[in-house]
A and B are shown apart, each in its own frame.
Chain A
Amino acid sequence: MMQTVTTQSIRKQQPKVTETITFTKRISQIGTIALALLLGFFVLVYVLLPIYWMVKSSFQTNYEIQSVPPLWLPTQFSLDTYRDAVTLIPIGRYMLNSLFVSSLTAVFATTIAAMAAYVLARFRFRFASLILGIILFTQLIPHITRVFPIYFFLQDLGLLNTYFGLIFAYTGFSIPYAVMMLQSYFRSSCPPELEEAGMIDGCSYFGAFWRIVLPVSLPGIVAIGTFTFLGAWNDFLWASLLLNRGELKTLQVGLREFMGEGGTIQNANVFMAACVLATIPAVILFIFLQRYMINGISAGAIKG
């Protein structure tokens, strides 16, 4: 409806012009296109140059990356950096840590969030909108405002420097976002008729949710699960505080440590190789789930 209104109003606003497009108009049109292309090109360079620089540097020797002016292409393609990345930084171990923590977070958070999101989307009950308000508010408030109490809280529970402590924290942090996205997903893309039919056939409420709603909503749940996974995978703040001892370190904490504080990065080529390795899992995930994710995010984010 909104669109038709706009079409009309635009038609009304525009004065009728003669059909011949004047020369100056054509020039300005070409100008607009050229400008757009130029700006588009700059945006592309801005987006891609760092990624190119990371990949390029990861194939260079330590001597080569120090050359002035910088080389745009590696002269000898060296894979030693990758060997060093695996040996100097225990990147395999860090990656497994991150993988473990992030996967369990995704599973727990998505399950708990799906349960809550489902009833919030489908049923009217007391305090439903209050609960939704609390969840939305929690999602919006930056993590840094609750770092210290949670740090002490987990310390009191003896959960500092345990996988469980970090998974517990991540699960709690992921839930608001997952609930918000999933409840709008259930509203927009999951027809209630299916469960109603199931319940007439004798399914309990929970049975209908478990056997009908969840399987039908799998695409949305996979999308949200992926985001939850990435949220935990990308996090540095919490991991650096709650799980920073020796072997348990997550990838982000380990990389940051190798980078060192301030100044220039030591062994930048090795660091870049580690970065490439650390990016690969997320990129694979992205390529497989691209469709789901873009649909999921736009369905959840845009009101309608």
Chain B
Amino acid sequence: MSESRKNLFCYLMVSPALILVVLLGILPMLQSLVMAFQEYNLLTIRRVGTPFVGLDNFTTLFSEPLFLQTLVQTILFVVIVVGFVIILGLLASQVLNQNFLGRSAIRTLFLLPWFIPPVIAAGIWKWLLNTNLSPINAVLRDVGLIQTNIGFLTDTNTVGPFSLPMLVVSLVRTWNGLPFVTVMLLAGLQSIPSEVYEAAKIDGASAFRRFTDITLPLVRPIIIVVATLLSISGIGYFEVNYVMTGGGPRDLTNILGVYAYDQAFTFYRFDYAATASSVILILTSVIAFFYIRYMLKGD
């Protein structure tokens, strides 16, 4: 078997995938970066084309309060989602890893949100959290915790960049992403042999100690992977925010993905859209770089 035939085979097999990835991944990404340095105004494009304007788009965006608010809210969104997903995922995987009656049924039910498209998830939650008709408000009223209904998606009170709608939107995103994380963590838990726990039990370690000293260190690689992937996807996230609130009320749930989309397809400012995308690209590339180094080192 000649070496050159083997190489030819390899390149032929790889090329369709590589061509598509370059055509629909790398090139558009680079083009987006270039657009960020151009003026791309549909009104003037006929007359002057798309001249280079240096860093003008960046300086304009970074002096715009809404963009800065969006940037801060994006980071907040990522932090809340990643935090919730990991805490709830650890908790859920612990519970689902126990032996109890009806475990497989509960597991299947628990994984359901994974198969509910973000648009539908956003629709269901929007309905569930309707200020006047929400069962959550009804329960809270019955218990006596609240007198007036909570406007989960309309409350515009803020604490710094934090607001109730932002929390709600993050929780919906968490809801959609939780099953995936739980499955990953479950797989990790199942790779820990039960003897380890039994040994620790004999030595008198409490459930809490067993969790912090055995479980956490062993699932840490999974937590790192999950946190990285979710941070990256969170920075450019779009769906739930766009469908549930459209970024509102008063742009309190606006994040970079929604901002970029609106700039392009609502205001037709493709240069600002590309600039906002480039900010997303830069932020995610930094995280992706470290992640790829971590993954390739393992191989």
- Given known A-B contacts A50-B124, A141-B288, A171-B20, A43 and B88 have beta carbons under 8 A apart: yes
* B288 x A48 contact (CB < 8 A): no
**Bound CA span A234–B240, Å:** 12
* A10 x B199 contact (CB < 8 A): yes
Residues of A within 8 A of B146 (CB): none
* A7 x B199 contact (CB < 8 A): yes
* A119 x B138 contact (CB < 8 A): no
* B28 x A146 contact (CB < 8 A): yes
> With an 8 A cutoff between CB atoms, is A76 at the interface?
no
* A175 x B92 contact (CB < 8 A): no
> With an 8 A cutoff between CB atoms, is A82 at the interface?
no
> With an 8 A cutoff between CB atoms, is B270 at the interface?
yes
> With an 8 A cutoff between CB atoms, is B95 at the interface?
yes
* A6 x B117 contact (CB < 8 A): no
- Given known A-B contacts A29-B206, A40-B91, A43-B88, A145 and B110 have beta carbons under 8 A apart: no
Residues of A within 8 A of B124 (CB): 50-51, 53-54, 272, 275
Over the window 61-104 of chain B, the binary record of Cβ atoms lying under 8 Å from chain A Cβ atoms (1 yes, 0 no) is: 00000000000000000000000000010011011000000000
> With an 8 A cutoff between CB atoms, is B42 at the interface?
no
Over the window 257-269 of chain B, the binary record of Cβ atoms lying under 8 Å from chain A Cβ atoms (1 yes, 0 no) is: 1001100110000
* B205 x A14 contact (CB < 8 A): yes
> With an 8 A cutoff between CB atoms, is B196 at the interface?
yes
> With an 8 A cutoff between CB atoms, is B59 at the interface?
no
* A50 x B175 contact (CB < 8 A): yes
* A172 x B24 contact (CB < 8 A): yes
> With an 8 A cutoff between CB atoms, is A79 at the interface?
no
- Given known A-B contacts A40-B91, A66-B133, A140-B288, A294 and B183 have beta carbons under 8 A apart: yes
Most-contacted residue by chain B among A131, A133, A179 (CB, 10 A): A131
Q: How far is the CB of B286 from chain A (nearest CB, A)?
A: 11
With beta carbons under 8 angstroms apart, the residue of A16, A32, A65, A265 that contacts B208 is A32
Q: Which of A239-296 contact B (CB under 8 A)?
A: 241, 251-252, 255-256, 259, 261-262, 264-265, 268, 271-272, 275, 278-279, 282-283, 285-287, 290, 294
Which residue of chain A is the closest to B240 with respect to CB atoms? Answer: A236
B interface bracket (residues with beta carbon within 8 Å of A): 35 or more
Residues of A within 8 A of B138 (CB): 69-70
Q: Which of B108-142 contact A (CB under 8 A)?
A: 108-121, 123-128, 130, 132-135, 138, 141-142
Residues of B within 8 A of A3 (CB): 192-193, 196, 218
> With an 8 A cutoff between CB atoms, is A221 at the interface?
no
* A135 x B17 contact (CB < 8 A): yes
Q: How many residues of A contact B (CB 8 A)?
A: 114
With beta carbons under 8 angstroms apart, the residue of A40, A115, A137 that contacts B92 is A40
Q: How far is the CB of A204 from chain B (nearest CB, A)?
A: 8
With beta carbons under 8 angstroms apart, the residue of B126, B205, B261, B281 that contacts A265 is B126
Q: How far is the CB of B27 from chain A (nearest CB, A)?
A: 7
**Bound CA span A125–B124, Å:** 50
Q: Which of B268-296 contact A (CB under 8 A)?
A: 270, 273-274, 277-278, 280-281, 284-285, 287-288, 291-292, 295-296
Over the window 41-62 of chain A, the binary record of Cβ atoms lying under 8 Å from chain B Cβ atoms (1 yes, 0 no) is: 0011011111101100100000
**Bound CA span A290–B25, Å:** 30
Q: Which of A4-55 contact B (CB under 8 A)?
A: 6-7, 10-11, 13-14, 16-17, 21, 25, 28-29, 32-33, 36-37, 39-40, 43-44, 46-51, 53-54
Most-contacted residue by chain B among A69, A132, A271, A286 (CB, 10 A): A69
> With an 8 A cutoff between CB atoms, is A185 at the interface?
no
Over the window 220-237 of chain A, the binary record of Cβ atoms lying under 8 Å from chain B Cβ atoms (1 yes, 0 no) is: 000000000010011011
* A interface, CB within 8 angstroms of B: 2-3, 6-7, 10-11, 13-14, 16-17, 21, 25, 28-29, 32-33, 36-37, 39-40, 43-44, 46-51, 53-54, 57, 65-66, 68-70, 72, 112-113, 115-116, 118-120, 123, 125-126, 128-129, 131-138, 140-150, 153, 168-169, 171-173, 175-176, 179, 199, 205-206, 209, 230, 233-234, 236-237, 241, 251-252, 255-256, 259, 261-262, 264-265, 268, 271-272, 275, 278-279, 282-283, 285-287, 290, 294, 297-298, 301-303
Known A-B contacts: A37-B95, A262-B248. Give 5 more (CB < 8 A). Answer: A36-B91, A138-B29, A141-B232, A149-B27, A175-B21
Contact sample, A vs B, 26 pairs, CB 8 Å cutoff: A7-B196, A10-B200, A32-B207, A43-B88, A51-B112, A115-B13, A123-B6, A125-B10, A132-B296, A133-B292, A133-B296, A135-B21, A141-B285, A146-B31, A148-B277, A168-B24, A234-B117, A236-B117, A237-B238, A252-B117, A256-B123, A265-B123, A272-B124, A282-B115, A282-B117, A297-B184
